[in-house]
Structure 1
Amino acid sequence: MESHGHNPANMAGSYIRFSPVSDLKPPDLRTQISEISIERSRLTLADVIQEGTFGKIYHGVLLGEGADMEVENDVFVKTVTEQASESQVNLFITESCMMLGLSFPSIQTIRSMCMDNERQPLAVFPYASNGLLKKFLHKCKIPGEGQGTQSKLSTQELVHMGIQIIRGVQYLHKKKIIHKDLATRNCVVGQDLNVKITEKALSRDLFPNDYHCLGDNENRPVKWLAIESLIDKRFSPASDVWAFGVLLWELMTLGQQPYPDVDPFEMAQYLREGYRLSQPINCPDELFAVMACCWALCPDDRPKFTQLLQCLQDFYAHLGRYI
């Protein structure tokens, strides 16, 4: 991360920008998709895990091929509905392939794509037994007395999730990819609380309350965006740091909505005036201090992910001494 230099705002241009399929040279994406393309007969769709107006996520089963034809693998299958427009289909394909070719323990990469029906392509991802992190956090709430809900997860377990996510973002940044939409809705959880960062395909549709259109006809995760991303649409490793701070707040609140009482149109002014998310109940001061650092107005004043990793690892070890 240090190699990124000291002015994240000026470096954003050196990072990959993902644009709709129609804007890409046809061979680029077509070649990539052809390499992971599978026949529809190998894929069985089971229960719908989540659906929106234009998209669905299924629990599916993928049959092996060749000598492994009898092998059945649980998978997630993302697809669009018949209501999706051509531009939505293109965006779905592009965003589904955002992590294509990457390999890292805390990154979930597309496994295959079925294009038998080009209006409703099927994007296949490795299965994660506990599903989307945001939904999982909601399930971990226990009704408590007095102070409201309590957590099935320990602070140490939540911090460990944060550590895995930092490592995944560091890997993306090494590959010159800025995620631009780090949030619990774009992570999945497997066994043993293994967390992976995913692409953002369908998120706008499946989590409509997390995205807002500020009169520019573009749905954006307004309440996760760094101020320079919100105002000037500038993205850098430092804007991912800001979003990570909000994600850490989501972890400690078990998936609450950030700034529930702030009008999306007033977010920029709210942040300019110095207001930020408040310390969650039961969140240790040291952990809240880490979050607060991520929300410095100037990108240069925010910690690097290497520093955040060190802080969380130290805090994790500290918690371990008291168990």
Structure 2
Amino acid sequence: MSQSYPFSAIVDQPEMKQALLIAAVDRGIGGVLVFGERGTGKSTAVRALARVLPEDEDTADGGVVPVVDMPLGVTEDRLVGALDIEKALTSGEKSFQPGLLAKADGGFLYIDEINLLEDYLVDLLLDVAASGENIVEREGLSVRHSAKFVLVGSGNPEEGELRPQLLDRFALSVDTKTPDSIETRVEIVRRRDRFDRDPDAFVEEWTADEQALTSRIARARSELAAIETPDSALTAAARLCASLGTDGLRGELTLIRAARAVAALDGETMLTAHHIGRVAPAVLRHRLRRDPLDETGSNARIERALAELDLS
């Protein structure tokens, strides 16, 4: 089995790592969208996180967490499953052939270049991700199976954007970029070069950190429901969303869930406005309406609102 690059060894990209950890702790929060330049560690981080998740995952492989890659040219039958044609022809028996959604159950479904995926497939994916079930009815078959996975999409914004209504369905949206710091770039190259030359030795060096991260995720999951959520935190989330003019209440609800996961990861027992501020960019940047009179981007608008409300 080939080695995955250790999650703990990933340099920089703190927002991406935080978003993936939030989704690992609160698996029902929704998907994670990662947009950024090529070569900024998007697929590396997804595959790395799968290796440090606790073994209580709902998988059919005894706790082994799958990372299923969904190719752009996938058909609907390949995705959701279909009639097993070979068995039908040889024995006359109608049998269900599981698709990628069944294989991803209990793990990650990763779609690179998701902004190039057919719209109807994205709609289907998000519906299944929200319900945790895949229902297939065709050729006289009616099959229902568990499809609980963390949907992670990545893409290069230069190649196109997702439709606004699809962006809103992702819980978290993060940006990655090539680091400007020479020291950071050197450290990234140094670690990756050591991994490529001797993966086993490099992974062994990070074993303790990986085990500590696994324990941290497991503890956060167990304590998540007990995190106290005072009205002051709810008010902070509402004031922030109101000041930014977000539509509906999905922004507030996601802010609270994401902030609660961060509090659990930090080993804290109460949700505070500080936690709200830490997750606000990832939760809200893709939910803001474009203001033709405001030339600043989403990140700047959120940072300004956080500062005005003393949540930064």
Compute the TM-score of the two structures, normalised by the length of structure 2.
Answer: 0.23
- Give the structure, 1 or 2, with the largest relative contact order (CA under 8 Å, sep 6 or more): 2
Hey, which of these two has a bigger chunk of helix by percent? 2
TM-score (norm 1): 0.23
